[in-house]
Structure 1
Amino acid sequence: MRILQITAGAAGMYCGSCTRDNALARELLARGHEVTLVPVYTPTRPDEPNVSRSRVLFGGISVYLQQKAPLFRRTPRLLDRLWDAPGVLRAVAGRAISTDARLLGDLTVSMLNGERGPLHKEFEKLVDWVRAEPLPEIIDLPNSLLIALAAPLKRAFGRPVCCTLQGEELFLDTLVSPYREQALALIRAQVPGVDRFVAVSDYCAAFMSSLLGIPASKMSVVPLGISMDGYDRPKPEARSPKPFSIGYFARVAPEKGLHVLADAYARLRRRTGRVPMRLRAAGYLARAHQSYLDDVRRFLERHHVAAEFSYEGELDRAGKLAFLRRLDVLSVPATYDEPKGLFLLEAMASGVPVVQPRRGGFTEIVERTGGGLLVERDDPEALAGGLYALHSTPEDREAMADRAVQGVLARYTVAHSAARLIEVYTSVLNGAPGAGASVA
């Protein structure tokens, strides 16, 4: 099958959605499908070999300039290529290109206005670029914020368009008024132009169907899947004695809940006494959130456990695998209904059980794998209780670690995701309706 898969760069940071898109493209290529993975906004940065094209469409600098200054809507394309160059975009990503929804309301609405909006030149460039490539059988957009690409692509090439749903509701919810209302209205109006929406979890499918008015016949679920390359679980007898390590592996931001975990850790330490223990965190830290991390450290200092905490930075794949191997349990107690939870699969594949709030996509991953405990949301005391349960019963923890690994192998590998995605694409090409729910 010949597939055009569009993926959205994340201003130079490791990104769960970029990683998911890239892993799927790699797996589909390995299965003999012809996949063109092309980024928009900025080059992508997955933690595995990157199979995306070097060309970046809707370059973040061009889009910003055209939004702010009408002059740049008429500049020649040759000039645009200067600031659309991947090297230039990488150089400014993370410094001059923002992913903060509070600052991007007008630009989001302009993107959703599509060819009728101030970014019409970029839509024309997209169609011309695709026209120069082998004609795809099916086109897949990375999220509903790019739904305005569907109409010009379908009109130009007559091919069905799918749209992945993988967590953009948090961005939409963070948009300030009136941009949030305008963005939602524009997305809802363009739902009929998409042939199939592909959600990454049952939770995501149900929530986004309600939010955007997507009928069940247009909805399918392709659960997340990870590449198992490099994951291994040290045997219990091979592990050297070490402090019990609780890990956090996600963006360091308030919505991901590191402060909730810090609170739970302080409560846990009052129960465990002088038993050696560590709280380890890793993940992307934006400059805007440095003060948040400082607040977490100060909280731990007030509770006399700051010396047990370490922030180990943003990790590449080798660093991630090594970090996860050092953990006994992982928790990312997000304060919103996270639809993905890729970090849960990564921990479980390493034989690390999880303790998570019962919310969003976490619930189905933990229940389907048996690789963790679910506790009440936004409740540090309940989280501390779950962590204590795993700390105090090593035998149960080892059994849960076994279930975690087997659960990922049985349901959540990228091979499972790729096979399911091809089933969805085939049903779209054959005109069959969506199932509206997962088969996982």
Structure 2
Amino acid sequence: MHVAIVTAGGAGMFCGSCLQDNALARALMASGEEVSLIPTYTPLTLDTKDESLLGPGRGRVFLGGINLYLEHQSKLWGRLPRWFVRFLDSRWALKLSSKLGVSNDAANLGPLTIDLLRGELGPQRRGIEELVDWIVNRLKPDAVVFSNALLVGPVRELRKSFDGPIWCTLQGDDIFLNALREPHQSAALAMISDRAGDDCHGFTGFLTHSEYYADHMADTLALPRDRFRTLPLLLEPNGFPEAPPAERPNEGPFTVGYFARICPEKGLHNLVEAMELLRERRPEVQWALLAGGYLGPRDQRYFRGLKKRTKSWGNGFEYAGAPNTLAEKASILQRFDVLSVPTVYREPKGLPVLEGWACGVPCVQPAHGAFPELLHGVPGGVLVPPGDARALAAALEALHDDPDRRRALGAAGHAGVRAVHGPTAVAERFKAILNAPVPGKRIANRPGAG
């Protein structure tokens, strides 16, 4: 089976969806399948080998972000010869635009988002036709997977010449959509619902990483719930420690770790509040908060506020930055005694939890979004009420006071993440989904069907 995965670059940011798409491509190839990972908008930013068509020495980006913007701004740009503007889809040009701080903030991208969702009727028609031609006539896959619903624009055009299954993975699409300003938010939701759910010209079905998110997105986008399938979040264990950590010495700080994008939605401020409570209640303990992850221009002010708030802690708060390699990431995670990413919103994936488990680090997470399902499948942590700093502090304190339990949870996470979320298990589940029929579809929905 040949699977084409159409993914979207994160404009220079380490993006969980990009990491998942790249890891899924590698897992499927390891299981004997052929995969073409097609980057759109910008190159992928990864801490492992890039498996996309834009990997080292290969290919191109489709629907390149610079040309999309210029086509949106000027009708004249869309009439220029393709050979004249194609250089702007190159790796170097798109990476440069990302480094210069080109905005990917949804609040500023409403009109462009609507243009993209118009698909073959919008100003990006030429780029869509190129993508479709490449998929149908060059790659000739058995199945196509788009990595988010905002990529639905090309699907009607693709349906004209491809009768195989076309799936869509939903991985946090609502976060972007909710940040759009009106009237663009309502328009985008209506357009995605119409195009994605069309029985004859839309997606065959939808993949999510949790049942919670399937319920949520079926309701948000008014899509049939019986066309959703759950694919476990994938974690590649290579590059992480092969065994959980040995018993840590009692001396030194007790390090609570946070590893995610530095932004209000991910809840670093919630963790700071819990640590304030711990420092006040248990001053004899050497508490430390170590944070790592991408910090973008939009959230610099937020982070400065946290640094000011924790100034009296001295060395008790450290920001380790955004690592460029998996080895650097693993070295940060291994410094944690406990991991917590107490998100404000309902997280659809929870990749930091899996990465912590891969290092044998237990977690304390809010009991909403995907986290209850993750911890039901792998008992490697503790759930607390969302937004309750006192409950979070109490759970962290309990794990500090019970090192045997802490080690047991870490060991369970270390073993469980490999068994439940490893490449072999996820690849087999993915292939089973693609080879099974989907209720209510009049178009072909299995590789080679029709």
For residues 135 and 294 of structure 1, do their structure 2 counterparts lie closer, same or farther at Cα, with a shift above 3 Å needed?
Answer: same
How large is the Cα RMSD of the aligned pairs?
A: 1.7
Aligned with residue 246 of structure 2, among 232, 236, 240: 236
Kindly indicate whether residue 235 of structure 2 is the aligned counterpart of residue 226 of structure 1. Answer: yes
Which residue number corresponds to residue 436 of structure 1? none
User: C-alpha deviations, 1:222-247, integer Å up to 9, x for none?
Assistant: 01010010222454247684311110
Which residue number corresponds to residue 89 of structure 2? 84
Kindly indicate whether residue 312 of structure 2 is the aligned counterpart of residue 307 of structure 1. Answer: no
Q: Helix, strand or coil for the counterpart of 1:13?
A: coil
More deviation, 188-197/237-246 = 237-246
For residues 432 and 68 of structure 1, do their structure 2 counterparts lie closer, same or farther at Cα, with a shift above 3 Å needed?
Answer: closer
Which residue number corresponds to residue 218 of structure 2? 209
Q: Distance in 2 between matches of 1:76 and 1:94?
A: 27
Displacement after TM superposition at 1:93 (Å): 1.1
Q: Distance in 2 between matches of 1:183 and 1:396?
A: 47
Aligned residues: 431
Which residue number corresponds to residue 323 of structure 1? 332
CA contact (8 A) 1:160 1:428 kept: no
For residues 351 and 69 of structure 1, do their structure 2 counterparts lie closer, same or farther at Cα, with a shift above 3 Å needed?
Answer: same
Q: Helix, strand or coil for the counterpart of 1:252?
A: coil
Aligned with residue 63 of structure 1, among 53, 63, 68: 68
User: C-alpha deviations, 1:117-176, integer Å up to 9, x for none?
Assistant: 121121112122224413111110010111122211121222221000111111011111
Displacement after TM superposition at 1:85 (Å): 0.6
CA contact (8 A) 1:154 1:160 kept: no
Which residue number corresponds to residue 13 of structure 1? 13
Q: Helix, strand or coil for the counterpart of 1:334?
A: coil
Kindly indicate whether residue 161 of structure 2 is the aligned counterpart of residue 156 of structure 1. Answer: yes
CA contact (8 A) 1:187 1:212 kept: yes
User: C-alpha deviations, 1:3-52, integer Å up to 9, x for none?
Assistant: 11111100011111000000010111112211000100000012111100
More deviation, 180-189/359-368 = 359-368
Displacement after TM superposition at 1:428 (Å): 4.7
Aligned with residue 190 of structure 2, among 169, 185, 190: 185
Q: Helix, strand or coil for the counterpart of 1:236?
A: coil
User: C-alpha deviations, 1:88-135, integer Å up to 9, x for none?
Assistant: 111111434322100111111111111111211211121222244131
Q: One-letter code of the match for 1:275?
A: V
Structure 2: segments with no counterpart, 5+ residues:
55-59, 443-450
More deviation, 206-215/58-67 = 206-215
Give the % identical residues.
Answer: 40
Which residue number corresponds to residue 34 of structure 2? 34
Which residue number corresponds to residue 340 of structure 1? 349
Displacement after TM superposition at 1:395 (Å): 1.1
Q: Distance in 1 between matches of 2:32 and 2:246?
A: 39
User: C-alpha deviations, 1:381-428, integer Å up to 9, x for none?
Assistant: 111111111111111111111111122122111222111111111115
Q: Helix, strand or coil for the counterpart of 1:58?
A: strand
Q: Distance in 2 between matches of 1:51 and 1:429?
A: 29
Q: Distance in 1 between matches of 2:124 and 2:67?
A: 9
CA contact (8 A) 1:297 1:306 kept: no
Q: Helix, strand or coil for the counterpart of 1:93?
A: helix
Which residue number corresponds to residue 2 of structure 1? 2
Q: Distance in 1 between matches of 2:49 and 2:135?
A: 24
CA contact (8 A) 2:227 2:438 kept: no
More deviation, 119-128/44-53 = 119-128
CA contact (8 A) 1:266 1:305 kept: no
CA contact (8 A) 1:56 1:86 kept: yes
Kindly indicate whether residue 168 of structure 2 is the aligned counterpart of residue 166 of structure 1. Answer: no
Which residue number corresponds to residue 375 of structure 1? 384
More deviation, 128-137/13-22 = 128-137
CA contact (8 A) 2:235 2:418 kept: no
Q: Distance in 2 between matches of 1:7 and 1:134?
A: 15
Q: One-letter code of the match for 2:317?
A: F
CA contact (8 A) 1:160 1:429 kept: no
Displacement after TM superposition at 1:203 (Å): 1.1
Q: Distance in 2 between matches of 1:79 and 1:240?
A: 64
CA contact (8 A) 1:61 1:97 kept: no
Q: Helix, strand or coil for the counterpart of 2:39?
A: strand
Kindly indicate whether residue 121 of structure 2 is the aligned counterpart of residue 112 of structure 1. Answer: no
Which residue number corresponds to residue 263 of structure 1? 273
Q: Distance in 2 between matches of 1:237 and 1:127?
A: 55
Displacement after TM superposition at 1:311 (Å): 0.5
Displacement after TM superposition at 1:432 (Å): 8.6
Q: One-letter code of the match for 1:322?
A: S
